[in-house]
Structure 1
Amino acid sequence: MSVESVKEYFSHYGIADRIQEFPVSSATVELAAQALNCAPERIAKTLSFKLKKADKSILIVTAGDAKIDNPKFKAFFSERALMLKADEVEATIGHPVGGVCPFGIHAGIPVYLDESLKRFETVYPACGAPNNAIELTIPELEQYTQFKEWVDVCKNWE
């Protein structure tokens, strides 16, 4: 169902046919980079977090080589980074681990884009399954994620 929700979501924009599906797994940054024959840092990984104070979950899309910087995360969100547990992700976000993306997600999940992505012309986020992706420009990523804002919460990419 997850892939179908992304295809339906993208059909409203006329780009569902741009989703690339692979005969191999693309569930990790490394596997996705191999499947796409691109640099791992160009994989746009979507990380899911729980904000306890606000009692909500959020998504942060980062470059494939970026890691969450806990002090930066805490400075921005006013609490420490707490990732959703693997068994919570699909029910909370709407996509399984390995296919989490910022498209066709459950209502009310804010999406943030990390600054680590801005150095690329195009990036490859997943599309709801651990064997697919779509190539998007940064302006397209902004448009199709309906993101809340750009954040600087990562390290190890500069």
Structure 2
Amino acid sequence: MAVEDVRNYFDGFGIADRLIEFEVSSATVELAAQALNCAPERIAKTLSFNLKKAQRTILIVAAGDAKIDNPKFKQAFSERALMLKAEEVEEKIGHPVGGVCPFAIKEDVAVYLDESLKRFDTVFPACGGPKSAIELTIPELEQYAQSTQWVDVCKGWE
């Protein structure tokens, strides 16, 4: 189970006890915000994309109120944004839709953090399942997500 993979991953950093599991779904930004009783923008949503030219899969972690800006995405990655199909997500990332996160993922997946997250002290990414989350500071998110780099590929949050 993906949540257990993430728990084991966090155990290696000594923070597995911080993983939160809910009785209710946290599979969308709105549901996660309700479950956590926080503002939706503090949910760190993880979006998965195929880069056809580069022949690789990437994750972009962004604030809950941010939306992908296609021109910015194309400028950053030299191709248009092409999200993974729902049926591809678990196979390519290692987590099901609703629980996608940048932790305990397949080795060949690169993680990028969007600038929209930098306005918060802490954010809440999912943890491998549709009823899970963890609260992390931005430096912790950088560390545990093993992020490749920061990007500015979103709009609607400014």
Q: Tell me if both proteins adopt one fold, taking TM over 0.5 as the criterion.
A: yes
Gaps of 5+ in 2: none
Aligned mates of 1:134, 1:7 — CA distance in 2: 10
- Deviating above 6 A after TM superposition, structure 1's stretches of 4 or more consecutive aligned residues are none
Aligned mates of 1:55, 1:138 — CA distance in 2: 29
Q: Deviations over 1:9-37 (max 9, x none)?
A: 00000000100110000000000000000
Aligned mates of 1:3, 1:105 — CA distance in 2: 11
Aligned mates of 2:78, 2:106 — CA distance in 1: 24
State the AA in 2 paired with 1:91.
E
State the AA in 2 paired with 1:51.
L
In structure 2, the residue matched to 1:130 is 130
Aligned mates of 2:116, 2:132 — CA distance in 1: 22
What is the correspondence of 1:6-45 to structure 2 with a 5 Å cutoff?
A: 6-45=6-45
Q: Percent identity?
A: 77
Aligned mates of 1:5, 1:21 — CA distance in 2: 14
Matched, 1:76 2:76: yes
What is the correspondence of 1:43-62 to structure 2 with a 5 Å cutoff?
A: 43-62=43-62
In structure 1, the residue matched to 2:97 is 97
Aligned mates of 1:143, 1:97 — CA distance in 2: 23
Aligned mates of 2:16, 2:126 — CA distance in 1: 13
Q: Deviations over 1:75-98 (max 9, x none)?
A: 010000000000000000000000
Aligned mates of 1:25, 1:81 — CA distance in 2: 27
Q: Deviations over 1:103-148 (max 9, x none)?
A: 0001110000000000000000000000010000000000001100
Aligned mates of 1:143, 1:57 — CA distance in 2: 20
For normalisation by structure 2, the TM-score amounts to 1.00
State the AA in 1 paired with 2:20.
Q
Q: Secondary structure at the match of 2:7?
A: helix
State the AA in 2 paired with 1:139.
P
Gaps of 5+ in 1: none
Question: In the comparison of the two structures, how many residue pairs are matched?
Answer: 158
Q: Secondary structure at the match of 1:118?
A: helix
State the AA in 2 paired with 1:128.
G
In structure 2, the residue matched to 1:65 is 65
Q: What root-mean-square deviation, in Å, do the aligned CA atoms of Structure 1 and Structure 2 show?
A: 0.3
